[in-house]
Amino acid sequence: MRIKAIEARIARLEASQWFSALGRLSDADLDRQIVLGLNDMASDWPSFGAMVTNLRESPAPADKDLAGQIEAFITDWQKQQREKATQ
């Protein structure tokens, strides 16, 4: 892809409402939005762990990757919450 085409795509992305709305959030607010989204996703399963297990057992590589990303995010988020509690 040419540089001009890439620059045009970036400009369109930056101009979009989605990018602008998320771009203004602090890291903490963005984390809260992610956690809310994950909780909404997990509402279809009996537990959060069941959702991640289901994704891990999926034959789709993207689902397996998503399960790993979710676990890594939640582990980091929980660590941050524990650190905040001890301060």
- Given a cut of 70, whether residue 33 has pLDDT beyond it is yes
Distance CA 34, CA 45 (A): 18
The Cα 77–Cα 60 span in angstroms is 26
In angstroms, what is the C-alpha Rg of the chain?
A: 17
Question: First vs last Cα of the chain: how many Å apart?
Answer: 49
Can you spell out the DSSP letters for 19-36?
A: HHHHHTS-HHHHHHHHHH
Query: 68: pLDDT confidence band, cut at 50, 70 and 90?
Result: very high
Average pLDDT for 37-55 = 88
